[in-house]
């Protein structure tokens, strides 16, 4: 089956638009209201400190725990009552993990503007909320002694969260959310001229071409810096952004990269920006990718 059929169908659901926009507005508003602290929390939950999106790393907690609880429930329904406490514990662990998954997922999703990613992401979130509610209800009725109903609610929740995980995968693999959008391959290994030096003024940024790779040039305190032009977050044009304190801020969602080494100073990008070495030769600015360290060096 064409894997885009489901996401295309979801993308056409107009009723999802106000839901998605409302959810995104609430999350964006909460972070904006938090000021500097809100930004730090957002960076943490995005995974800037990890160098990788945090959401995919934590979703395995509820998925794993609820898969385990569902298997143990099958065993218990088959007569092995000794596994009941283990199933209940797995449901509870999954609920804690679901909370972490929700906040990291909403944090990663709230800046997205494309209709498809917005609606598929909202559907993914609504399904996860439904599954989490079912597991919470499952835990309550288990504790009240109605184990058959608790198991049934758990199985239903597991089916829903599995479908939701499919949508999460399509967001990553089809729509490239959370993947690195900066060029990392086929970068020029030898210096290539890209711009007459006189055409780059102090505190100015320019987009140039280096062997087919778009490169951002910036001059600050007389030094020329070069980073890949396409933002690692979602490919935004860095040369159309702003220079701030030795960094460039992306015009699309505000990621901030240090000119010196391309490291992320502010998310949502969790990946650093590829940097280039620069030199001036014969009045031309030249750039090349840094040499890759050899093993043992």
Taking residues 255 to 274 in sequence order and writing x for each that binds ligand FES by CB under 6 A, - otherwise, the string is x------------xx-----
Tell me the window of 58-66, 214-222, 249-257, 276-284 that interacts with ligand FES (CB under 6 A).
Answer: 249-257
Which H or E run contains 36?
helix 35-46
Distance separating alpha carbons of residues 14 and 27, to the nearest angstrom: 21
CA separation for the pair 282, 50 (Å, rounded): 42
31 contacts ligand FES (rule: CB under 6 A):
no
Q: Which residues pair with 169 in a beta bridge?
A: none
The residues, ordered by sequence, that sit 6+ positions from 179 with a Cβ below 8 Å of its Cβ are: 172
Neighbouring C-beta atoms of residue 152, cutoff 10 Å: 16
Q: Is 234 a residue that touches ligand FES (CB under 6 A)?
A: yes
Q: How far apart are CA 270 and CA 179, in angstroms?
A: 9
Please report how close the Cβ of residue 231 comes to ligand FES at its closest, in angstroms. 3
Provide the 3-class DSSP secondary structure of residue 263: coil
Q: Using CB under 6 A, which of 48, 194, 250, 259 touches ligand FES?
A: 250
Select the residue interacting with ligand FES from 151, 233, 258, 275 (CB under 6 A). 233
Minimum gap (Å) between residue 29 Cβ and ligand FES: 19
Give the binding-site size for ligand FES (rule: CB under 6 A). Answer: 12
Rounded to whole angstroms, the Cα distance separating 75 from 111 reads: 43
3-state SS, residue 261: coil
- Closest distance of CB 163 from ligand FES, Å: 28
Conformational region of residue 188, where left means phi above 0, alpha means psi within -120 to 50, and beta covers everything else: beta
Beta strands in the chain (DSSP E): 192-196, 205-210, 213-220, 223-228, 242-244, 247-249, 256-258, 264-266, 275-281, 284-288
Piece of the chain touching ligand FES by CB under 6 A; list 28-36, 59-67, 132-140, 250-258:
250-258
Of 181 and 206, the one with the shorter C-beta distance to ligand FES is 181
Among 105, 183, 236, 272, binds ligand FES (CB under 6 A): 236
Cβ atoms of 224 and 179 closer than 8 Å: no
Window of 4-12, 191-199, 219-227, 251-259 that interacts with ligand FES by CB under 6 A: 251-259
Residue closer to ligand FES, measured from CB, 121 or 236: 236
Residues of this chain, 146-165, that bind ligand FES according to CB under 6 A: none
Name which of 46 and 164 has its Cβ closer to ligand FES: 46
- Nearest CA to 24 among 85, 78, 105? 105
Looking at 161-169, 215-223, 232-240, 272-280, which segment touches ligand FES (CB under 6 A)? Answer: 232-240
Look at residue 231 and give its three-state secondary structure.
coil
**Which of these segments, 142-150, 166-174, 213-221, 226-234, binds ligand FES (CB under 6 A)?**
226-234
Which listed residue (112, 231, 247, 285) binds ligand FES by CB under 6 A?
231
**What are the residues binding ligand FES (CB under 6 A)?**
231, 233-236, 250, 252-255, 268-269
């Amino acid at each position: 089956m064409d894997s885009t059929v489901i996401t295309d169908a979801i993308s056409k659901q107009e009723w999802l638009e106000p839901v998605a926009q409302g959810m995104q507005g609430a999350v964006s508003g909460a972070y904006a209201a938090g000021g500097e602290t809100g930004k730090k929390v957002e960076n943490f939950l995005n995974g800037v400190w990890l160098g990788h999106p945090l959401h995919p790393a934590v979703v395995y907690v509820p998925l794993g725990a609820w898969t385990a609880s569902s298997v143990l429930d099958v065993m218990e329904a088959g007569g092995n009552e000794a596994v009941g406490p283990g199933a209940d514990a797995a449901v509870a662990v999954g609920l804690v993990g679901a909370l972490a998954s929700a906040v990291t997922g909403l944090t990663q999703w709230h800046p997205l503007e494309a209709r498809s990613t917005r609606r598929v992401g909202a559907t993914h979130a609504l399904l996860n909320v439904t599954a989490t509610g079912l597991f919470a209800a499952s835990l309550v009725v288990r504790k009240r002694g109605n184990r058959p109903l608790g198991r049934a609610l758990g199985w239903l929740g597991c089916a829903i969260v599995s479908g939701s995980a499919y949508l999460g995968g399509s967001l990553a693999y089809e729509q490239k959310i959370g993947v690195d959008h900066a060029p990392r391959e086929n970068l020029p290994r030898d210096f290539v001229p890209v711009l007459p030096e006189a055409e780059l003024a102090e505190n100015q940024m320019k987009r140039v071409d280096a062997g087919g790779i778009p490169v951002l040039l910036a001059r600050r305190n007389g030094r020329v810096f070069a980073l890949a032009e396409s933002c690692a977050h979602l490919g935004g044009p860095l040369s159309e952004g702003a220079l701030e304190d030795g960094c460039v801020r992306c015009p699309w969602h505000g990621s901030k990269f240090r000119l010196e080494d391309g490291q992320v100073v502010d998310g949502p990008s969790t990946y650093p920006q590829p940097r280039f070495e620069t030199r001036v030769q014969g009045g031309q600015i030249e750039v090349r990718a840094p040499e890759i360290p050899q093993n043992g060096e």
